[in-house]
Structure 1
């Protein structure tokens, strides 16, 4: 299985060398495309994601590259998949998210200068970008475009559980690991209080409520041993049926 890391800001191809020169983690389309080109067309790929986002166009290109890969792509959000990185995360075939990670979606933003007409034009461009971003979320989640645009307007942060519930993620990592429970074997030989209460009830039933208040030690010991034997037999049978 191949491996691709989506870490640091999502940047254009032309800026990658600058980040590399300073040793700063960053992800560009060319970096992802190069990694994919070195794999077989049908090779499975693990995509590790921890990015706060960046260029929406670079994010779109990476999303498309992952979506187009013939092999199975398994994404793992290990920290944050925000903004453009959340779009990239939608490009894998199966997405897992760490229980401590988050996905963040919001509307596109920019800056500029100009007159009224210039800003009206920019507003229209941003609306189109938002609709394009919502397409990626809609394909993955099945939510409506209006629902998604509303979430984006509010800059929505999704916990692992919420991301899975809404369909942004397919699974929360580590959820299927075996649950550790207390037992006689791992609790230093101490019986749980519920078992102790059950033993008291069993002994009370064996001794009987109408027994004489005074009896010999031998009689008491005999009844206790009998009750203990019956209880051990029940516990052995239950253990064998598991």
Structure 2
């Protein structure tokens, strides 16, 4: 069975907002539902993601690790940030044109120096949690993993194999991705809540029969762009 982890990695509760505005996303529920349907049969996970929410990625990693059937993971583009954690959940390969990136966990914070100290400590603990997954996969020391995260390490397919985060290079080029130099950051939580109000009441985003038509989405997109500008101007 095929499971796609493509686009932004988002929490279950936020997925409907991204879906409404046409973002490609993957959530923990997408993975858990697919695994439940697979019911112990072998699954192939295809990753092409710049990452996203750390806790959503960690939940997807745990679900794949705990699955009772065989899990094969294929990087068919990029596995960056939270997506690189998911990559560590099973036997893996990477397209020759693929890339992997690991870095420190980041978050926004405000408040006085005590709040900043607490936020810094929380980020260090989150780094340790992510490093544990990388360490288990690669066999490298915690110190070496944390240094690589500090440096925001980008790896080609060959470098990813040498680092040990991927097991091998795929023999087929049929899934070779189109290269790009852009990424789509997650919306701030406050913007998610504002954007949620732009979805018509009672609208079921998950129902294919209710996909927004061009004019509905265009109008909502214009309003979302205004929200983004307001956020930038704060």
TM-score of the two chains, using structure 2 as the length reference:
0.72
Taking the aligned partners of 1:19 and 1:4, their CA distance within structure 2 comes to: 19
Match of 1:102 in 2: 99
Q: Give ranges in structure 2 of 5+ residues lacking alignment.
A: 173-234
Aligned residue for 1:53, secondary structure, equals strand
1:29 alignment partner in structure 2: 28
Matches within 5 A, 1:40-55: 40-41=39-40, 43-55=41-53
CA distance in 2, matches of 1:45, 1:131: 29
Partner deviation per Cα, 1:119-140 (whole Å, 9 max, x = no partner): 0000000000000000000010
Gaps of 5+ in 1: 176-242
CA distance in 1, matches of 2:46, 2:10: 17
Q: State the secondary structure of the residue aligned to 2:8.
A: coil
Q: Tell me the distance in 2 between the aligned counterparts of 1:161 and 1:95.
A: 13
Aligned to 1:58: 56
Work out whether 1:131 is the aligned partner of 2:161.
Answer: no
Query: 2:14: which partner in 1?
Result: 15
Partner residue of 2:148 out of 146, 151, 156: 151
SS in 2 for 1:46: strand
Which residue of 1 is the match for residue 78 of structure 2?
A: 80
Q: Does residue 161 in structure 1 map to residue 180 in structure 2?
A: no
Higher Rg of the two aligned structures: 1
> What is aligned with 2:68?
70
* SS of equivalent residue, structure 1 residue 49: strand
Query: Which residue of 113, 116, 126 corresponds with 1:116?
Result: 113
Output the CA distance in 1 between the equivalents of 2:10 and 2:28.
8
| Counterpart-to-counterpart distance in 2, 1:27 and 1:159 | 24
In 1: Cα distance, 2:38 partner to 2:158 partner: 33
Tell me the distance in 2 between the aligned counterparts of 1:23 and 1:109: 25
Higher relative contact order (CA 8 A, sep 6+): 2
Aligned twin of 2:179: none
1:223-242 pair list within 5 angstroms: none
